[in-house]
C-alpha cells in the first residue's frame, strides 16, 4: 500500500493573547505528528477534547498553519505544490463534518449542494451531473426526490447522508470525517456507520476518522492513533490497541467507556484529573500528572514513540507489558 497522505513531524501552533503590553504566547495544538494514510485504509484518531484531533485534521487540509514539519499528498509536499496539483488534491480529499446542521447551506437545494464540488472542479456537464446526483443519492440511501428539497426538510441522520453524498461527488480518494456521528441519535449512528462500511467496500476509499467514540472507532478502523495534548501517545493496528494497549492513557480511555451488560460500575477506577491546558502543558510526558506509573523520568523527559510490538508504537517510559 502506498501512502496517500503523509504527515512528517507536523506541528501546529496558534498565537494566544498578546497585546500592547503583553507578549504573545503560543499554544501548541499539535506537536510533531507523523502519520501516514494508505490507499483504502481507515485510520482513526482518538482522544478527548483539547487533544488536537481537529487541529491536526485542519492542518492536513491546509486550513491550519503548520509551524514545523510537512504534509505530503501522494509524495508531494503540499506547501510547495503547484496550483494545479493543489486543486487536484482538493478534489481528491473531501471532508465530512460533525454538525450536519451547520455544514449544509440552508438556501441551496440538495441537488445544488451535491453538485457544488462538481461545478467547482469542472466535472461533467449539466446532464451528466443530474445523473451523478441521482447515483449519489442512491449510494447514500436517500430517495431520488430528495434532490429538489432543502436541508431543513431532513432529519439529522439524513442531513449527514447529504453531506456524505457531497463529499463523494468528485470521486475522492480520501474522506476526512471529523466526529461524523456525535451529533446523531444512537439508532441513527449505526445507520451512518454501516453506510461508511458499505461505501468503503464499494469505492475503496481511504477514511481518516476523527472520533472520541471508541466503540465506533473499533467498528471502522484498521489502525488507531491515540492523541493526548497534541502528541501521539500510541499508534497501532486496531486489535493491538484494543486488546493490548501499551500506553496507560490508552488503557484508561478504553476502561472509561461505559459498556452495556457488564453490571453496575465499581467506583474508584476512573482516571483522575482532567486534560491540562495546552497553554501550560506539563513538562516531560504530558500525561504524567494523571498517570499511576509516573516516575521521576516521566516528569523531566518526554518519551519518544517506540515500537512495543511490530507496527505498534507507544510513547511511554513504562509501557504496559502484558503482551502475552
Partner 1 sequence: MTQPALLADALTVRLGMTDPVDILDGISFRLEAGRTLGVVGESGCGKSMTALAVMGLVPAPNRITGRLSLGGADLLGMSETALRRLRGKRMAMIFQEPMTALNPVVAVGTQIAEMLEVHDGVSTREARRRAVVLLREVGIAAAETRAGAYPHQLSGGMRQRVMIAMAIACRPALLIADEPTTALDVSVQAQILDLLLELQRNEGMAMLFISHDLGVISEMADDVMVMYAGRVVEQGRAAEVIGAPGHPYTKGLIETVPDISRRQRLLPVIPGGVPDPRRRGAGCGFAPRCALAEAVCVAAVPPLCGGAHRVACVHR
Nearest residue to 26 via CA among 18, 34, 35: 18
260 binds partner 1 (CB under 8 A): yes
36 to 55, contacts with partner 1 by CB under 8 A?
48-49
Closer to partner 1 by CB, 34 or 277: give it. 277
Question: How many residues in the shown chain lie near partner 1 by CB under 8 A?
Answer: 44
CA distance 66 to 238: 28
Establish if 153 lies at the interface with partner 1 (CB under 8 A).
Answer: no
Contact between 141 and 174 under an 8 Å Cβ cutoff? The reply is: no
Nearer to partner 1, 62 or 237 (CB): 237
Set of cell numbers at residue 324: 502475552
Beta bridge partners of 80: none
User: In this structure, is the dihedral angle defined by the CA atoms of residues 72, 40, 200 and 217, taken in order, positive or negative?
Assistant: negative
Q: Which stretch binds partner 1 (CB under 8 A): 5-13, 121-129, 163-171, 193-201?
A: 193-201
Residue 271 Cβ vs partner 1, minimum distance, rounded to whole Å = 4
Instruction: Verify binding: residue 280, partner 1, rule CB under 8 A.
Output: no
Residue 128 as a binder of partner 1 (CB under 8 A): the answer is no
Strand residue runs (E) in the chain: 3-16, 25-38, 42-46, 66-73, 76-77, 93-96, 174-178, 206-211, 223-228, 231-237, 306-309, 312-314
Q: 276: Cβ–Cβ under 8 A, 6 or more apart, which residues?
A: 229, 282, 286, 289
Q: Binding residue for partner 1 (CB under 8 A) from 75, 122, 263, 310? A: 263
Q: Does 272 bind partner 1 (CB under 8 A)?
A: yes
Q: How far apart are CA 146 and CA 153, in angstroms?
A: 9
Binding-site member from 39, 130, 188, 302 for partner 1 (CB under 8 A)? 188
Site stretch for partner 1 (CB under 8 A), options 14-22, 64-72, 171-179, 271-279: 271-279
By beta-carbon proximity to partner 1, the closer residue of 69 and 245 is 245
Q: Does 295 bind partner 1 (CB under 8 A)?
A: no
**Cβ atoms 154, 108 nearer than 8 A:** no
Closest distance to partner 1 from the beta carbon of 158 (Å): 9
Coil, strand or helix at 207: strand
264 binds partner 1 (CB under 8 A): yes
Q: How far apart are CA 246 and CA 237, in angstroms?
A: 12
Closest by Cα among 112, 129, 122, 60 to 91: 122
Contact region for partner 1 (CB under 8 A) — 10-18, 82-90, 192-200, 311-319? 192-200
What would the DSSP string read from start to end of 228-254? Answer: ETTEEEEEEEHHHHHHS--SHHHHHHH
| Residues from 209 through 248 that contact partner 1 (CB under 8 A) | 212, 214-216, 218-219, 242
Q: According to the binding rule CB under 8 A, does residue 185 interact with partner 1?
A: yes
The single residue among 105, 274, 296, 301 that binds partner 1, judged by CB under 8 A, is 274
Residues near partner 1, by CB under 8 A: 48-49, 155, 157, 185-191, 193-194, 197-198, 212, 214-216, 218-219, 242, 252-265, 267-272, 274-275
Amino acid at each position: 500500500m502506498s501512502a496517500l497522505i503523509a504527515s512528517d513531524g507536523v506541528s501546529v501552533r496558534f498565537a494566544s493573547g498578546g497585546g500592547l503590553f503583553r507578549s504573545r504566547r503560543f499554544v501548541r495544538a499539535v506537536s510533531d505528528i507523523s502519520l501516514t494514510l494508505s490507499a483504502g485504509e481507515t485510520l482513526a484518531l482518538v482522544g478527548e477534547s483539547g487533544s488536537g484531533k481537529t487541529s491536526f485534521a485542519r492542518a492536513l487540509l491546509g486550513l491550519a498553519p503548520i509551524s514545523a514539519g510537512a504534509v505530503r499528498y501522494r509524495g508531494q509536499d503540499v506547501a510547495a505544490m503547484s496550483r494545479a496539483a493543489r486543486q487536484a488534491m482538493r478534489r481528491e480529499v473531501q471532508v465530512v463534518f460533525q454538525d450536519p446542521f451547520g455544514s449544509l447551506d440552508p438556501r441551496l437545494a440538495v441537488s445544488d449542494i451535491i453538485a457544488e464540488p462538481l461545478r467547482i472542479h469542472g466535472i461533467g456537464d449539466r446532464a451528466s451531473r443530474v445523473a451523478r446526483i441521482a447515483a449519489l443519492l442512491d449510494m447514500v440511501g436517500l430517495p431520488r426526490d430528495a434532490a429538489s428539497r432543502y436541508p431543513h426538510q431532513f432529519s439529522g441522520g439524513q442531513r449527514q447522508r447529504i453531506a456524505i453524498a457531497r463529499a463523494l461527488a468528485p470521486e475522492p480518494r480520501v474522506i476526512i470525517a471529523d466526529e461524523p456521528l456525535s451529533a446523531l441519535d444512537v439508532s441513527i449512528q449505526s445507520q451512518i456507520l454501516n453506510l461508511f462500511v458499505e461505501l468503503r467496500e464499494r469505492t475503496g476509499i481511504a477514511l481518516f476518522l476523527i472520533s472520541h467514540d471508541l466503540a465506533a472507532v473499533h467498528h471502522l478502523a484498521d489502525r488507531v492513533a491515540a492523541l493526548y495534548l497534541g502528541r501521539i501517545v500510541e499508534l497501532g493496528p486496531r486489535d493491538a490497541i484494543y486488546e493490548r494497549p501499551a500506553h496507560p492513557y490508552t488503557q484508561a480511555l478504553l476502561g472509561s467507556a461505559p459498556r452495556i451488560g457488564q453490571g453496575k460500575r465499581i467506583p474508584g477506577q476512573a482516571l483522575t484529573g482532567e486534560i491540562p491546558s495546552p497553554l501550560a502543558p506539563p513538562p516531560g510526558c504530558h500525561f504524567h500528572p494523571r498517570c499511576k506509573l509516573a516516575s521521576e523520568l516521566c516528569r523531566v523527559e518526554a518519551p519518544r514513540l517506540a515500537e512495543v510490538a511490530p507496527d505498534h508504537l507507544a510513547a511511554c517510559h513504562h509501557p504496559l507489558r502484558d503482551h502475552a
